[in-house]
Amino acid sequence: MGREFAGYRIERVIGRGALGEVYVGIHPRLDMEHALKVLFRDVTEDPDFRERFQRQARRNARLSHPNIVPIFDFGEESGRLYLVMPHIRGMDLRRMLRRERTLGPA
């Protein structure tokens, strides 16, 4: 923590999945928190995966919908692919389902 990645100061880890980890990073000029999803190196070594990742990131960045988390930026740093998204505070779906067991339609 406290190190820099892709121009962001990394504050803490907020998630981990099959493809990588998600960090809270502080944008240096805007002093805003963003979520940085950094993919594991072994995932990004596959050239076909890299191509799909970049194509999908470009497409998803053009989407605008209240139920879709926007992508602000994507790229590669030190051989690792990453996405920059808004940091949305609150409980994640996995934790919510563990606590609530089921969710209503609303």
CA 105 to chain CA mean position, Å: 26
Q: Give the pLDDT confidence of 31-83 residue by residue, as tens digits.
A: 899 999 999 999 888 999 999 999 999 999 999 998 888 999 999 998 999 99
Q: Which two tokens stand for residue 15?
A: 């998630």
The three-class DSSP label of residue 54 is helix
Q: What is the DSSP letter of 18?
A: S
26 vs 103, residue with greater confidence: 26
CA distance 106 to 88: 19
At which residue do the structure tokens 């809270």 appear?
24
CATH class of residue range 4-100: alpha beta
Q: What is the pLDDT of residues 1-37, one digit of tens each?
A: 679 999 999 999 998 989 999 999 999 888 899 999 9
First to last CA, the chain: 37
Instruction: Please tell me whether residue 53 adopts helix, strand or coil conformation.
Output: helix
